[in-house]
Amino acid sequence: MNTKRIVFSGSGGQGVITAAIILAEAAVIYEGLNSLQTQSYGPEARGGATRADVIISDEPIHYPKVINPDILVCLTQEAYNKYSGIIRPGGLLLTDSHYIKQEWKIDARHVELGMYKAIMSKIGKPIVLNIYMLGTMLGLTGLVSAESSMRVLETKIPVDFLEINKRALEIGLQLADSHNQKHVSSYTQPEA
């Protein structure tokens, strides 16, 4: 595979760093790839802008930050306003229609999904939005397999919350599937 650079962005407490860790760990432990995850955040525990970067590659990774992501996920309007301009041309931008109003056109594929709406109607708890978003992103890109990310969830998530997180990942993958069936995309297949 080529090196893939991913940025998850949102607000503190939304779990964007957790989602990034799960993705990166799945790549290293279960897919035998190299992966590196970093984050930047302010001193506050909740609120404030949060950003988590993941690089996945089959080659050694040196510079640990992402400057221009192939895949950008934004969970708040603030994150969208701040980061949508850095996306690599031809990349993928994933946003949630509940949180983000599209302000401008970007030189990338913009997938806008009702993730918050779906999570509230199917699970009823917004705390798993990050995992749902991860599932959707994996469904759209095939970066790591659903099984790998599921296995990481089992080791990372406290037992009491495991079931709803697993469900969130599953329905995220399903949402991406139904989107893929409507839109033929180069992102649906992982590269050889």
Partner 1 sequence: MRANVRFMQGNEAIVEGALYAGLHFYAGYPITPSTEIAEILSERLPMIGGKFVQMEDEIASMCAIIGASLTGFKVMTATSGPGFSLMQEAIGYAIMTEVPSVVVNVQRGGPGTGLPTSVAQGDVMQARWGTHGDHSIIALTASNLQDAFYVTVDAFNLAETFRTPVILLFDEVLAHMREKIVIPQPGDIEVVERLRTSVPEGTNYHPYLVREDGRLPMSDFGGKHRYNVTGLVHDMWGFPSSDPKVAYDLIHHLVDKLEHRADVIARYKEHYTKDAEVLLISYGSSARSALQMVEDRRKRGGKVGLLELQSLWPFPGKTVRKKCVGRSHVLVVEMNMGQICQEVKKVVSEPEQVFLANRFDGVLISPTDILQQLNMIQGKGV
Site residues for partner 1 per CB under 8 A: 21, 24-25, 28-29, 32, 34-43, 61-65, 67
98 neighbors 121 (Cβ within 8 angstroms): no
Q: Which is nearer to partner 1, 65 or 117 (CB)?
A: 65
Least Å distance between CB 78 and partner 1? 18
Pairing of strands 92-96, 49-57: unpaired
Least Å distance between CB 72 and partner 1? 18
98 neighbors 116 (Cβ within 8 angstroms): yes
Q: Which is nearer to partner 1, 46 or 105 (CB)?
A: 46
Least Å distance between CB 24 and partner 1? 6
Least Å distance between CB 73 and partner 1? 18
Q: Which is nearer to partner 1, 51 or 166 (CB)?
A: 51
Please count the residues of the chain: 192
Distance, CA of 181 to chain centre = 20
Q: Which is nearer to partner 1, 27 or 119 (CB)?
A: 27
Least Å distance between CB 130 and partner 1? 16
Least Å distance between CB 68 and partner 1? 11
Q: Compute, in degrees rounded to 10, the torsion defined by CA atoms 112, 118, 120, 122.
A: -160
Q: Which is nearer to partner 1, 63 or 104 (CB)?
A: 63
Q: Which is nearer to partner 1, 55 or 115 (CB)?
A: 55
